[in-house]
Amino acid sequence: MNIKILGSGCKNCRKLEENVIEALKNMNIEATMEKVTDMKDIMSYNILSTPALVVDGKVLFSGQVPNAKKIQELLT
């Protein structure tokens, strides 16, 4: 599983990263995680707001910071 967190590195982006790590730990799943901060790269995903979560090339959501439980639901 390849996970990308799109965002500038703001507070919400860091919180999303923490929640993703927690969700993966709870599910006992290993994944490659990458932070994408370059605006050109972020815009290539056609999102309107950050942070955003991309899993295996598919945008799961943008503009929000769901908790770890919600992220687990999205990953299953």
Tell me the domain boundaries of the chain: 2-75
- Sheet containing 2-6: which strands, arranged edge to edge? 32-36, 2-6, 52-55, 58-62
Q: Which of 1, 2, 10, 63 is catalytic?
A: 10
Active site residue 15: no
Q: At what angle do helices 68-75 and 11-27 cross, to 10 degrees?
A: 60
pTM of the model: 0.91
pLDDT tens figures, 43-54: 999 999 999 999
Tokens matching residue 53: 């979560």
Residue 25 Cα to chain centre, angstroms: 15
The whole-chain average pLDDT of the chain stands at: 95
Active site residue 69: no
Q: Which CATH architecture has domain 2-75?
A: 3-Layer(aba) Sandwich (3.40)
Distance CA 67, CA 22 (A): 9
Amino acid sitting at position 6: L
